[in-house]
Amino acid sequence: MEQLLKEAYGNVFEPALLTDIANVATLVDFKEGDHLIEIGQYIRQMPLLINGAIKIIREDRQEGELLLYFLEKGDTCAMTLACCLGDTKSEIRAVAETRGTVAMIPIGKMEEWLGKHKGWRNFVFSSYNKRLSEMLSAIDNLAFMKMDERLLSYLKEKSKVNQSKVITNTHQEIAYELNTSRVVISRLLKALENEGIIKLNRNTIELLK
């Protein structure tokens, strides 16, 4: 386990911290589509993403879901950190975008390492800042960007985390994550294809630019 942790976090965690994590962490494998965290759930362990990608979603019971951001290798979820340390229920849903592995850390160790390891303190504060910036970007997208701009940004981010120019989500799935209708998404995708930015295939969307 320590080697896996080193590959994902060796540039931010000191050797002693990597050893401490390996001694208490539990590795959990997941596959695409798995729900790793549910809204309303108490979180008793903090996830460190060893590999793969996870999308973090906020739910509006009347309007549907909204994609906040993606987690990638070497990340953790700041909102999960807050729930763990504050013993509060989760307000987000974490869904696996790809297959991968997380290392689950007990709550007690999270607090202990804040005083013991500088690398851990820096990582926690950096994660908060990064996730806050991403959530502010999500708010900006909603408030200031047109839907076609949000759609293109979404497609590029999906391509990045999946490391592929081909996106397999259906028009309905995209509409759900962007909190709009399938008809709107289909129309905007066709417009992007006419501009030569994407190519629509029977079950996939290919980014050309």
User: pLDDT, tens digit, for every residue of 35-67?
Assistant: 999 989 888 888 999 999 999 988 765 666 788
Average pLDDT of the chain is: 89
Mean pLDDT, range 174-189, rounded to an integer: 91
Task: Report which of 89, 35, 103, 95 is spatially closest to residue 71, judged by C-alpha positions.
Answer: 95
pLDDT at site 2: 87
| Domain spans in the chain, listed from the N-terminal domain onward | 2-143, 145-207
pLDDT at site 136: 83
pLDDT at site 132: 83
Residue range 145-207 forms a domain whose CATH class is mainly alpha
pLDDT more than 90, % of the chain: 58
Q: 0.85 cut: is pTM over it?
A: no
Mean pLDDT, range 78-94, rounded to an integer: 81
Q: Is the pLDDT of residue 84 over 90?
A: no
User: pLDDT, tens digit, for every residue of 91-144?
Assistant: 889 999 999 999 999 988 988 998 899 999 999 999 888 888 887 887 777 777
Report the distance separating Cα 128 and Cα 106, nearest Å: 19
Higher confidence at residue 143 or residue 187? 187
Q: With helix as H, strand as E and coil as C, how does the chain read?
A: CHHHHHHHHCCCCCHHHHHHHHHHCEEEEECCCCEEECCCCECCEEEEEEECCEEEEEEECCCEEEEEEEECCCCCCHHHHHHHHHCCECCCEEEECCCEEEEEEEHHHHHHHHHHCHHHHHHHHHHHHHHHHHHHHHHHHHHHCCHHHHHHHHHHHHHHHHCCCEECCCHHHHHHHCCCCHHHHHHHHHHHHHCCCEEECCCCEEECC
Tokens of 156: 């590029």
Q: Looking at the domain that runs over 2-143, which CATH code has it been given?
A: 2.60.120.10
